[in-house]
Amino acid sequence: MANETPLYNEMEDQVGLHNASQQGNLIANQSRQLQYQMEEGEKNLAEAQLDCNETLTKINHLLKQDVLKVNEGGVLDWEEIGDEKKRVLTDEGVDKIMQVMQSYINKETLLSNFDEKTIARRMLQFSLSFSALIFLKYEIFFRSPSLLECKEILNERIKEKVSNKEMTAEILGKQFDINEIKRLILIDMEPRMEYELNKIKAEKTKLNLREFEMIFTQLNALVEATHNRAWKGEERGSLRRHFNISEVIGGKSPMLEKQGGFFGWGKR
């Protein structure tokens, strides 16, 4: 019996060491898993914060005159304009403006470090360049009605003239022959038919051009907002502060420590 006690104690010690080792491995695995989740969370946060696709998608919809409507599923979603003739900009115009917007609304701009004078200078340069581009190429950017559209508008105007004549005859108690009245209106309009079609085209084009100021104001505001997020490196600073808080809560990330931060800022 005297020899069994040391053996029992030795086995008990081994079991205790094994349990402690297992518990240590479990804690280490949990710690690694937590660290991985934190790193993934930091990465996703940075990607979401620097992702400009949502803003650019919104700009693209606005340029095409798409509207936000609640769909059948009760979700607010973009709906394409039903009548192409209501479009203000051409497809080429939308594509060109989107190229310009992508040059200003991007993560490179967000991660810049601008002071007030730099932002003001860049915004002035953008305003002048963008307005000049639209002014010099407005015939390409803005839609003009097709000949068929002008014809439909002219027919509507002829119908309106006939209706006015009919109303006048009814008020005066005179006989009204719709076919005769329409014939007389067409005879009167025939010498200037081409002029009327060109006039309609010019009027509709001018109406589209009147949309320029509002389009410019909306785009200018979005570009300015992007620049303001880069004021004194505020966007980078906001990401740094979040990473520092995460390091304090969950410990220094080996990945971030090796790289000097998520964007390599930590060693600067």
In which residue are the tokens 């949502």 written? 54
pLDDT tens digit at each of 268 positions of the chain: 545 556 555 655 565 555 656 666 666 555 555 554 444 445 554 566 677 888 999 999 999 999 888 888 888 888 888 778 889 999 999 999 999 999 999 988 888 899 999 999 999 999 999 999 999 999 999 999 998 999 999 999 889 988 888 888 888 888 888 888 888 888 888 888 899 999 999 999 999 999 999 999 999 999 999 999 888 777 666 656 555 544 444 544 444 444 444 444 444 3
Q: And the tokens for 246?
A: 């995460």
* Contact call for residues 200 and 84 (beta carbons, < 8 A): no
In angstroms, the CA 44 to CA 56 distance is 19
DSSP per position, 51-73: --HHHHHHHHHHHTT-EEEE-TT
In angstroms, the CA 258 to CA 29 distance is 21
In which residue are the tokens 């200037």 written? 192
Q: And the tokens for 35?
A: 């660290």
Q: Kindly report the pTM of this predicted structure.
A: 0.66
Domain locations in the chain as residue ranges = 4-68+77-140+225-259, 147-207
Give Cα 124 to chain centroid, integer Å.
22
As separate numbers, helices (DSSP H) first and strands (DSSP E) second, the chain gives 12, 2
